[in-house]
Structure 1
Amino acid sequence: MSAFLSADYWNQRYINNAAQWDLGRVSPPLKAYFDQLTDKDIPILIPGAGNSYEAIYLLDHGFTNISVIDIAPAVIQPLQEKFKNQSAIRFIQTDFFDWEGKYDLIVEQTFFCAINPDLREKYVAKMASLLSANGKLAGLLFNRQFEGGPPFGGDKNAYQVLFKKYFQIDIMAPCFNSVPPRAGTELFFKMSRKK
Structure 2
Amino acid sequence: MSNQLDDNFWSTRYKENTTGWDLGQVSPPIEAYVDQLTNKDISILIPGCGNSHEAEHLLSAGFKKVTLVDISEVLVERLKVKFEAEIAEDRCEVIHADFFDLKGTFDLVIEQTFFCAIDPSLRQQYAQKMAELLKPGGKVAGVLFEMHKPDGPPFGGNSEEYLGYFEPLFDIKSMEPCHNSIAPRAGSELFIILQKK
Q: State whether TM-score is above 0.5.
A: yes
TM-score of Structure 1 vs Structure 2, range by shorter chain:
over 0.9
Alignment match, 1:153: 156
Alignment match, 2:119: 116
Matched residue SS, 1:171: strand
- The match for 2:107 among 99, 104, 109 is 104
Matched residue SS, 1:138: strand
- The match for 1:189 among 169, 187, 192 is 192
Q: TM-score, normalised by structure 1?
A: 0.97
Alignment match, 1:167: 170
Matched residue SS, 2:50: coil
**Aligned 8 A contact 1:11 1:74 in 2:** yes
Alignment match, 2:47: 47
**Aligned 8 A contact 1:29 1:188 in 2:** yes
**Aligned 8 A contact 1:105 1:138 in 2:** yes
Alignment match, 1:69: 69
**Aligned 8 A contact 1:4 1:10 in 2:** no
Matched residue SS, 1:58: helix
Name the CA distance, whole Å, in 2 between partners of 1:4 and 1:169: 32
Matched residue SS, 1:30: helix
Provide the identity percentage: 50
Q: Alignment RMSD, CA only?
A: 1.0
Q: CA deviation at 1:13?
A: 1.2
Matched residue SS, 1:149: coil
* Match runs of 1:27-38 below 5 Å: 27-38=27-38
Name the CA distance, whole Å, in 2 between partners of 1:116 and 1:85: 34
How many residues are paired up?
194
Gaps of 5+ in 1: none
Gaps of 5+ in 2: none
Q: CA deviation at 1:28?
A: 0.3
Matched residue SS, 1:75: helix
Name the CA distance, whole Å, in 1 between partners of 2:42 and 2:13: 32
Alignment match, 1:133: 136
Matched residue SS, 2:84: coil
Report the residue type matching 1:26 in the other structure. V
Name the CA distance, whole Å, in 1 between partners of 2:135 and 2:4: 28
Encode CA deviations 1:86-128: one digit per residue, 9 max, x unaligned: 2211111111000011100001000000000000000000000
Does 1:26 pair with 2:26? Answer: yes
Q: TM-score, normalised by structure 2?
A: 0.96
Matched residue SS, 1:85: helix
